Amino acid sequence: MSECLFCKIINKEIPSDPVYEDDLIFAFNDINPQAPVHILIVPKKHIGSLDDVQGTDAELMGYMMLKIKDMAEKHGLTKGYRVVNNCGEDGLQSVQHVHFHLLGGRKLLWPPG
């Protein structure tokens, strides 16, 4: 059994507030939202970080981006949104299962800290 937090969420061993699920990906609301819409999108396959993504994952990564775009539309983010991946120590990645943050519903700041 995986010790990975997001694998446990995908496997429903830990409850979440799901937004979307299919064979390849799982999306759920962030427990500590930074914007009115703050969804985490993860592949069901355990990949530690963006740094661990291989060429064989290219189709999966592209699929995730298209689904993120669909979710943005579904959640009414007509004025725009931000997709974030925090990678590694300097990127402040806190959960070691690659994920994208979909943030929107307010004017976001740039650059991040």
- Applying CB under 6 A, what is the total number of residues that bind ligand 5GP? 12
- Tell me the C-alpha distance between 91 and 59, whole Å: 24
Phi-psi map region of 23: left, alpha, beta (phi>0 left; psi -120 to 50 alpha): alpha
Q: Is the peptide bond before 111 cis (omega within 30 degrees of 0)?
A: yes
User: Which 1-30 positions form the footprint of Zn ion (CB under 5 A)?
Assistant: 4, 6-7
Is residue 99 part of the annotated active site? The answer reads: yes
Binding to ligand 5GP, residues 4-63 (CB under 6 A): 5, 16, 28, 30-32, 40
Where in the sequence numbering do the catalytic residues fall? 99
List residues binding Zn ion (CB under 5 A).
4, 6-7, 46, 97
